[in-house]
Amino acid sequence: MMLHIPNVLGAEQVARCRDVMERASWADGRITAGYQSGQVKKNLQLPESSPEARELGDLVLAGLEKSALFISAVLPQRVFPPLFNRYEPGMTFGSHVDNAIRRIPGTPDRVRTDVSATLFISEPDSYDGGELVVEDTYGSHAVKLPAGDLIIYPATSLHHVTPVTRGVRLASFFWVQSMVRDVSRRALLFDMDTAIQQLTQEVPRSPALVMLTGTYHNLLRQWAEP
């Protein structure tokens, strides 16, 4: 399931991200790439242990916690600490699939990458190129969102970032381990939760709504992993 989640960060948070990122020291983006993706990755990245990355990572995580749409769609169990990248003219990231398991630096903990996410920090009219292109059974989908908006998609998807030809593309990217590993089951639960929320507005006292809500939680109880 691929989903656009608006306003994860507000204008004030986006401005703070840009300010910190403009003053930060950047490293070669291949520092977090696997062998295969490292062959096609040409961008810059904030070092994971830098104070700037930690401050902005906390900002992104706080935004995710407030996003009901993100929580409903992803059912997060664990979020990998957000990373931040920078694409200048000529920079790109060729086709690749994200690693299945990511170790959280400085800890023994690992995250299974069920869902990939990109949070746009630059406004789309401030740079040319730099579209995130995700490939699935329905074709290729080019994504370039307003600053503060998030795109999520299955981490199993082949994807790439087209070359930037003007300006600078700033973004955050991270992965999520969901309580429900199977993407089709997550999509079903998301559709059901969306219907429940709509019916809550339209027929809040319907006994059928109580039954549907119970079915949602029983399915989640059956499919969720500890």
- What are the pLDDT digits (tens) for 48-96? 999 999 999 999 999 999 999 999 999 999 999 999 999 999 999 999 9
pLDDT at 34 (0 to 100): 67
* Contact assessment for residue 83 and residue 119, using Cβ atoms and an 8 Å cutoff: no
Q: What is the CA radius of gyration of the chain?
A: 18
Lowest mean pLDDT among 33-37, 79-83, 188-192: 33-37
159: Cβ–Cβ under 8 A, 6 or more apart, which residues? 95, 96, 97, 116, 132, 133, 134, 135, 153
Q: pLDDT tens for residues 204-216?
A: 999 999 999 999 9
pLDDT at 138 (0 to 100): 86
Q: pLDDT tens for residues 139-156?
A: 999 999 999 999 999 999
pLDDT at 31 (0 to 100): 79
Res. 218: pLDDT tops 90: yes
Q: pLDDT tens for residues 88-143?
A: 999 999 999 999 999 998 899 999 999 999 999 999 999 999 999 999 888 999 99
Determine how many CB atoms are found less than 10 A away from the CB of residue 48. 18
pLDDT at 35 (0 to 100): 67
Choose between 48 and 37: higher pLDDT: 48
* Contact assessment for residue 156 and residue 73, using Cβ atoms and an 8 Å cutoff: no
Q: What percent of the chain has pLDDT over 90?
A: 92
Q: What is the per-residue burial (b if ≥16 Cβ within 10 Å, else e) of 141-173?
A: bebbbebbbbbbbbbebebbbbbbeebbbbbbb
Q: What's the mean pLDDT in 160-188?
A: 98
Determine how many CB atoms are found less than 10 A away from the CB of residue 70. 22
Rounded-to-10 torsion of CA 28, 111, 160, 55:
-50
pTM (predicted TM-score): 0.94
